[in-house]
Amino acid sequence: MKGIGIKMKKVTLFTDGAARGNPEGPGGYGAILQYVDGSGTLHEREFCAGYKKTTNNRMELLAVIVGLEALTKPCEVVVVSDSKYVTDAFNQNWVDNWLKNSWKTSAKKPVKNVELWMRLLEAMKPHQVGFTWVKGHDGHPENERCDRLATSAADGDILLDDDGGALV
């Protein structure tokens, strides 16, 4: 996937993940980047992919990661997600606590999905990122679009590139 070099520094990234309840089964994730270019024109890019052997939390993380990794220039990014897991991890400083505790939630309980959290932290590095939670399935148009993207990806292994075209 080629990156998007955005001239304006503010980006909104809407994300969602879909799993089918079986850690051995399919899942999918979707992300929509909304940004304004240097001429003031609003643009959108959609990304989605199917993923095997997964859980919903993995899908939510991948949705954020794929959006952030598409950016090639430092931006101010607001991630809009219906995942409390993702938004609380940053808004309630869970990630900072996990880092201090060597990726453990307690003395004996390891954090799940550490490899994805590390990839997310790497993708965030050049950007100023904030996280906003929205209630899922509440009619929020971008959130609903992300849900449809993620569900389609989970159901059919659909993969969209940054031009919105299907990759075979």
pLDDT of residue 33: 92
Indicate if 60 belongs to the active site. Answer: yes
Catalytic residue among 16, 46, 50, 127: 16
pLDDT of residue 157: 62
Tell me what the mean pLDDT of segment 113-133 comes to: 95
For the cut 80, the answer to whether the pLDDT of residue 51 exceeds it is: yes
Catalytic residue among 28, 67, 127, 147: 147
What is the dihedral angle through the alpha carbons of 74, 132, 121, 75, rounded to the nearest 10 degrees?
Answer: 0
DSSP 31-99: EEEEEE-TTS-EEEEEEEEEEES--HHHHHHHHHHHHHHTB-S--EEEEEES-HHHHHHHHT-HHHHHH
Indicate if 147 belongs to the active site. Answer: yes
Catalytic residue among 28, 67, 82, 127: 82
- Asked if 111 and 8 touch (Cβ cutoff 8 Å), the reply is no
Indicate if 16 belongs to the active site. Answer: yes
Catalytic residue among 137, 155, 156, 164: 137
Q: Is 123 helix (H, G, I), strand (E, B) or coil?
A: helix
For the cut 50, the answer to whether the pLDDT of residue 38 exceeds it is: yes
Average pLDDT value for the chain: 84
Indicate if 17 belongs to the active site. Answer: yes
Indicate if 137 belongs to the active site. Answer: yes
Higher pLDDT, 51 or 22: 51
Higher pLDDT, 77 or 73: 77
Q: Pairing state of beta strands 76-81 and 128-133?
A: parallel
CA dist 59 and 6 (Å) reads 25
Catalytic residue among 30, 60, 67, 127: 60
pLDDT of residue 7: 54
Catalytic residue among 17, 27, 30, 67: 17
| Start-to-end CA span in the chain (Å) | 13
pLDDT of residue 62: 93
Q: Can you give the pTM of this predicted structure?
A: 0.86
- The model's confidence at residue 37, banded by pLDDT at 50, 70 and 90, is confident
**Which residue segments constitute the domains of the chain, with CATH numbers given?**
10-156 (3.30.420.10)
User: What does DSSP assign to residue 146?
Assistant: H
How many DSSP H helices and E strands does the chain contain? 5, 5
What is the strand order of the sheet 128-133 is part of? 42-52, 26-36, 10-19, 76-81, 128-133
